[in-house]
Structure 1
Amino acid sequence: MPAATAPAVDFVLLGGKVVDGSGTPARVADVAVKDGRVVAVESGLRAEAGQRIDVTELTVVPGFIDPHSHSDWSVLGNRDAQSTIRQGVTTEVVGNCGVTYAPLSAAGVDPARNALSAYGYDGKVTWRGFAELLDVVHRHGGGTSQNLAWFVGHTALRDAAELRGTGADAGGIRRMVRHLEEAMDAGALGMSSGLEYGSGRDATTDELTGVAAALARYDGIYASHIRNRDAHLLDAVDEFLAIAGRNGLRAQLSHLNVRHDTGALPDAWHEAVGRLAAEREAGMDVLADMTPYPHGIGLATGLLPGWLLGDGPAHAARLLDDAEVRARLRGDCDRYWRFVHKGQWDRVVLATSPATPELEGLSFPQIAERRGQDCWDAFFDVLQAAGTDMQAVQLMGRLFTPEHVAEAIAHPLFCLGVDGFTSRTDGPLAERTRHPLFFTGHTHYIAHHVLQAGTLTLEEAVRKGTSMVADRFALHGRGRVQVGAHADLAVLDLAALAAQDTFAFTGRYAAGVPHVIVNGRLVVHDGQHLGTRAGQYLPRS
């Protein structure tokens, strides 16, 4: 008997409307995939296929690429990327805001293990260097469902170099650069910084410029959660542009937005965006990104002053025993989410608190009422209970006005990100992500901003969440439905998405994305995760 002939292609998506990521109008076409690549995009395709999937009345798009994700925090506890892959997200750019769990000093191992356990990881922290962490994520333990491209965090570099306080000397900068070079040699995209919290906020402009100089040798990117997004927004933007400009770097300004009612001048955001546009005109490769909701996550320690945190979280927890320290703090926490100093605690929910999980999901007025306290003492008690894990305490805040969110999303210099992390509906992650940001943040762009509010056209929203991001981070061959591209694809049911309230938290995975393909392999089929881990590590090109 003759051997069976292999089909011409692995599978075909039949009869869908293709929005190819380029921004051009949708067209009806079949999409054929073979050996992980798109091999045809044409109507009436007759190739013999191993599998034929009828997507008539549905929309085929490139898999979404999140330009600003923190899924490196949760990937070890959620390798199947349940909440994001089910939204059609096939690639996430991680390691943002300066916070990565590598490189690690010996003193950083226990805090990293405790923090990662809050995201569902119950294994050992065996790595120290950045390349070792990549091995754990991508080469051991079963892989991932989604592709990941990584930044290394400046705060992690600082902590690994065992620096405290301001004014890193030449030796400290050399140690940070050594760790940075190791990460870049392992394929990191570049360095991210987070300058509103942790030891990152102790870094001077000169320190950041000195460390970032090493990126130029790799054509690396400098991404930054800048130092201020309220009264001193423009100073913070100028600092970001100076660090990138002095080193001739590509630059990404993370979630460039202004928190509502925190002291920013009325036109500060427009002037900030204007400065980015002017730098682009002058030749700097700089872009920004935005988030989909008026809500966002934040680190609780961002509200605390440096004098409390200078000797580490354990010492800070002991200081919080002192009533005089607490009294002083009430007048000296006017930073980061400054609206709490106006008494607007109702805008803040406790999202992640390993030491007091029974309070997670409650607003601070609710916590205060439950404990018979005011909101400040409730806040201090949560941080004190966390002790050495204080940096793991996360908040969810109502930060922006809907009008501001829509304006930033529509701006041509902004990619579309979520600033969350992939979650799941069971285990520790489920308890700590009770907000639609984690489950429908990506589909919200389509369901709300395209189909309901009309903030963007479908073609433009898809472009800003796919090819624009792929081009920004040099993820070659991704972000488009075209012949030769990697077959990262998502199939959208626009009618189902249009009918959804993606502002509501349901506790379920997103609906409206029946099929998701990563590197030519079905990961989600008919709305069900198949357990496929087809993701790849995407090193810097």
Structure 2
Amino acid sequence: MAKHAHILIQHAEVADGTGAPRFDADIAIIDDRIAFVGDCSHWTADQRIDARGLVVSPGFIDTHTHDDRLLLSSNSMEPKVSQGVTTVITGNCGISLAPTPQRLQAPITPPLDLLDGEGDWFTHPTFQSYVDALQQQPAATNCAPLVGHTTLRIVAMSALDRPATADELTRMKALLREAMQAGAIGLSTGLAYDPAIAASTEEVIELAKVAAEFGGVYCTHLRDESDHVMDALEEAFRIGREANLPVVISHHKVAGKNNFGRSTETLERIRQQMGVQDICLDCYPYAASSTVLSVKHASSALKVLVTWSKSCPDMAGRDLADIQKEWQCSLEEAVGRLQPAGAIYHRMDDADVSRILAFDDTMIGSDGLPHDAVPHPRLWGSFPRVLGHYSRERGLFSFEKAIHKMTGLSAQKFGLRDRGFIRDGAYADLVILHADTVAEASSFARPIAPAIGIETVLVNGKIVWNAGQTTDARPGHVLSREAVTP
């Protein structure tokens, strides 16, 4: 008797997420799982997809996002599914949408305003209530949420310009423990930002210990990514070591012209430390960053583009230098008049970006900001840019290695069981793409544009993107952290 699949992908070239060479196979899907990878010529199916001339890979895992609100406010997740992303890690850089026992009021403290500037979405008093909302209104992608240290500070502390008191730390630990019990996968920090910069290393260690009780991970936007990057790395290593949990160095970079080339130094130190503790890193494939607008960042950037401004919304998309000329004012005055605002900063060297991307244990994260009026193109283009520009055009690594960095490696490091690989029994998170043409269409001039060459995307066995359009399917799950075998 012939076996029956709900969806049968035929004549595919499979890049299975391990980094091994591609191979020809059919893929049979039953419900939300891959039932069989191999010759399915005798299977029957409700739906057949002819993948002749196409590559099928695991769905991409965006290891660094700020999609906490997007999952609820625009759950088609078009910026992500259009480039093949099927799972997003949220709550990065110390900012998460929950928990907020007292509803936050406008103006929202930066950088939390990158998620919501008015306070309309900071409505989840517990982390469980946020998870419940995600489960009651599923998105097109899966998500694995982190808890933000800055969010905990803002809701637990009476002043942010100092380390937490013992009572405040006790309250933060209680909030974090509830979040971990609700399914959060770990703790994130953004120690470079004003609300967290006064936090002591010991404060973070005590919180990280709570995350470690639940098998969590520690993700960190380092305290410094420029002149003092080596000291910041050592602090991150210490936190992971003393709290006994894995460390993820978020969007690793060396910023500022005087630091160009220092990735050789940082990567060597990371490689050394990997020998004694669990450490990995992610990177986005651009030499420009994006966050809140500040004089500090703008003064060390080669070019600054305004991505949004509450006080001067018509300035979104403009070059800050041109705004200064038009207003005939100093950098400090222009930044002040635009507040609250966000910006893109050209502060990195592509040689460093390439070196970090090529590092064996570097995962791919977009760090996209979905609520910016004129966002950084990484929001829509990070994953196809890795495949097209860095792999196919520049030969930085093989196509299979690129896929591994965006799938299997990320699943292993974040503990996403049965994700990131194409094999019997894995969840049917899949991307069908044109390997010879896949590329980003987004650019700094035109940042909102679906990728080229992404044909079909499936999440948990449901098609969420097909022939250039989203579908009505919303099959995303809230994922927990578990041990993963290669």
Considering the TM-score relative to the shorter chain, is it more than 0.5? yes
Q: Please show how residues 64-463 of structure 1 align to structure 2 within 5 Å.
A: 64-106=60-102, 108-111=104-107, 125-139=122-136, 142-164=137-159, 165-261=161-257, 263-264=258-259, 268-282=262-276, 284-301=277-294, 303=295, 333=296, 337=297, 340-341=298-299, 344=301, 347-383=303-339, 386=340, 393-421=341-369, 423=370, 429=371, 431-433=373-375, 435-463=376-404
User: Alignment partner of 2:234: what SS?
Assistant: helix
User: Alignment partner of 1:38: what SS?
Assistant: strand
8 Å contact from structure 2 (residues 103, 119) kept in 1: no
More displaced stretch, 68-77 vs 464-473: 68-77
In structure 2, the residue matched to 1:497 is 438
Q: Give the Cα separation in 2 of the matches to 1:116 and 1:143.
A: 24
Question: Judging changes above 3 Å, is the alpha-carbon distance between structure 1 residues 498 and 179 closer, same or farther for their aligned structure 2 residues?
Answer: closer
Q: Give the Cα separation in 1 of the matches to 2:310 and 2:275.
A: 47
Q: Deviations over 1:124-173 (max 9, x none)?
A: 6432222212222332xx32000000100000111111242223221111
**1:51 and 2:7 aligned:** no
In structure 2, the residue matched to 1:330 is none
CA drift of 1:498 comes to 5.8
Question: Judging changes above 3 Å, is the alpha-carbon distance between structure 1 residues 191 and 10 closer, same or farther for their aligned structure 2 residues?
Answer: same
Q: Deviations over 1:416-471 (max 9, x none)?
A: 111114x4xxxxx47332x4212212111111111111111000000010000000
8 Å contact from structure 2 (residues 441, 451) kept in 1: no
8 Å contact from structure 1 (residues 448, 502) kept in 2: no
User: Alignment partner of 2:393: what SS?
Assistant: coil
Q: Give the Cα separation in 1 of the matches to 2:65 and 2:457.
A: 19
In structure 2, the residue matched to 1:9 is 5
Instruction: Name which of 24, 29, 41 aligns with 1:28.
Output: 24
More displaced stretch, 24-33 vs 167-176: 167-176
CA drift of 1:410 comes to 0.5
The residue type equivalent to 2:265 in the other structure is E
CA drift of 1:406 comes to 0.9
Unaligned residue ranges in structure 1 (runs of 5+): 304-332, 387-392, 424-428
8 Å contact from structure 2 (residues 310, 338) kept in 1: no
8 Å contact from structure 1 (residues 78, 120) kept in 2: no
CA drift of 1:11 comes to 0.9
8 Å contact from structure 1 (residues 104, 129) kept in 2: yes
**1:476 and 2:417 aligned:** yes
Question: Judging changes above 3 Å, is the alpha-carbon distance between structure 1 residues 373 and 241 closer, same or farther for their aligned structure 2 residues?
Answer: same
The residue type equivalent to 1:126 in the other structure is T
The residue type equivalent to 1:367 in the other structure is I
Q: Give the Cα separation in 1 of the matches to 2:447 and 2:114.
A: 24
Q: Give the Cα separation in 2 of the matches to 1:117 and 1:288.
A: 22
In structure 2, the residue matched to 1:326 is none
Q: Deviations over 1:66-114 (max 9, x none)?
A: 1111111433322110011011100011110001122225362444599
User: Alignment partner of 1:367: what SS?
Assistant: helix
Q: Deviations over 1:323-348 (max 9, x none)?
A: xxxxxxxxxx4xxx2xx435x5x511
More displaced stretch, 241-250 vs 374-383: 374-383
Q: Give the Cα separation in 1 of the matches to 2:119 and 2:222.
A: 32
More displaced stretch, 526-535 vs 471-480: 526-535
User: Alignment partner of 1:495: what SS?
Assistant: coil
Q: Give the Cα separation in 1 of the matches to 2:460 and 2:476.
A: 7
CA drift of 1:57 comes to 0.5
CA drift of 1:511 comes to 2.5
The residue type equivalent to 2:237 in the other structure is L
Q: Give the Cα separation in 2 of the matches to 1:28 and 1:479.
A: 18
Q: Give the Cα separation in 2 of the matches to 1:49 and 1:120.
A: 48
The residue type equivalent to 2:344 in the other structure is M
Question: Judging changes above 3 Å, is the alpha-carbon distance between structure 1 residues 516 and 267 closer, same or farther for their aligned structure 2 residues?
Answer: closer
Question: Judging changes above 3 Å, is the alpha-carbon distance between structure 1 residues 299 and 507 closer, same or farther for their aligned structure 2 residues?
Answer: closer
8 Å contact from structure 1 (residues 350, 362) kept in 2: yes
8 Å contact from structure 2 (residues 65, 92) kept in 1: yes
CA drift of 1:206 comes to 1.5
8 Å contact from structure 1 (residues 74, 116) kept in 2: no
Question: Judging changes above 3 Å, is the alpha-carbon distance between structure 1 residues 175 and 469 closer, same or farther for their aligned structure 2 residues?
Answer: same
Question: Judging changes above 3 Å, is the alpha-carbon distance between structure 1 residues 175 and 113 closer, same or farther for their aligned structure 2 residues?
Answer: closer
User: Alignment partner of 2:438: what SS?
Assistant: helix
Residue identity over aligned pairs, in percent, reads 29
Q: Deviations over 1:249-304 (max 9, x none)?
A: 1111111210131x43x66432322222222212x111011111112212225x5x
Q: Deviations over 1:1-56 (max 9, x none)?
A: xxxx9971101111121000011100111111001100111135320000001110
More displaced stretch, 503-512 vs 222-231: 503-512
The residue type equivalent to 2:327 in the other structure is R
CA drift of 1:193 comes to 0.3
8 Å contact from structure 1 (residues 190, 222) kept in 2: yes
**1:514 and 2:481 aligned:** no
TM-score by length of 2: 0.92
Q: Give the Cα separation in 1 of the matches to 2:286 and 2:187.
A: 26
User: Alignment partner of 2:286: what SS?
Assistant: coil
Q: Give the Cα separation in 2 of the matches to 1:347 and 1:107.
A: 37
Q: Give the Cα separation in 1 of the matches to 2:267 and 2:224.
A: 15
8 Å contact from structure 1 (residues 293, 402) kept in 2: yes
Larger helix percent: 1
Question: Judging changes above 3 Å, is the alpha-carbon distance between structure 1 residues 98 and 118 closer, same or farther for their aligned structure 2 residues?
Answer: closer
User: Alignment partner of 1:514: what SS?
Assistant: strand
Question: Judging changes above 3 Å, is the alpha-carbon distance between structure 1 residues 60 and 33 closer, same or farther for their aligned structure 2 residues?
Answer: same
The residue type equivalent to 1:172 in the other structure is E
Unaligned residue ranges in structure 2 (runs of 5+): none
